[in-house]
Amino acid sequence: MVTEPRSAPVVGVLALQGGVSEHGDVLEQLGARVVLVRRESDFAGADGPRIDALVLPGGESSAQDRLLRLFDMAEGLRSIITEGLPTLGTCAGLVLLSREVRDAAPSQRSLDVLDVAVRRNALGPQLVSHEVDIAVDAAEVIGRQDGRVRAALIRAPEVLSVGIGARAICRVDGRVLGATTAAPGGDSDAGPERDTDGRIGARDARRRLGTVTGIAFHPELTGDAAFHRALLAQVR
């Protein structure tokens, strides 16, 4: 998105609330330059986008939504994302990206840039948080655990429906916990095809991430950088 050449990709991390530093640490370890996004001028100016990619971290989605509107950032973020900025949302970030929040807090809105409907805190309270290895239906996302991504589920949301503009990329116990934008005319809400041992099948492993990806879990908390690498690959 940024036209001038840079020695390192510039990745904005929304820094209004939630788990900001963990994402920043992973991205910096991968060689990115991190910009903390607290106002519109951090990600866009008169000359266009000032970042090459964007991360929306976990936290409290309704609080992040209120702050986005309070600081007059929501429309600017929606615009830059829909124009093609590579974007990753984790947990609350998935909720912010979604088309619809089925159990929204009073007056809560979303950015409506990923064609999914979600339910907040679907996987239970903080006390049932746990780690899990997740198979991901995306060619660029190769995790550390036999190709699976090691991730933390903390008051995780769930994708309840996937529209024609998106496709599911991962499931845990039959629940869709991640989706990405789908190319026009391509696969949309078809779920990952798996071998008998649960691995992603060869046909689906060739499919790639869209520019907007939302996941219900936290790979940044376990140190698995697979999604962050995939985000940077969309820049490079």
What's the pLDDT at 80? 96
For helices 226-235 and 20-29, what crossing angle results, to 10°? 60
Sequence-separated (6 or more) residues with CB below 8 Å from residue 64: 14, 16, 17, 18, 56, 92, 96
Break the chain down into helix, strand, coil percent, rounded to 5: 25, 30, 45
What's the pLDDT at 197? 35
Q: Annotated catalytic, 170?
A: no
Summarize pLDDT for 124-153 with one digit per residue, the tens: 555 557 788 999 999 999 998 888 999 999
The dotted CATH code for 10-235 is 3.40.50.880
Residue tagged active-site, from 22, 23, 158, 218: 218
Which helix (H) or strand (E) segment holds residue 100: the answer is strand 98-101
Coil, strand or helix: which one is 19? coil
**Contact status, residue 151 vs residue 217, Cβ threshold 8 Å:** yes
What's the pLDDT at 57? 96
What's the pLDDT at 6? 56
Residue tagged active-site, from 22, 23, 170, 220: 220
Spell out the domain ranges in the chain. 10-235
Report, as ranges of residue numbers, the positions in the chain whose pLDDT lies below 70: 1-6, 122-128, 184-206, 236
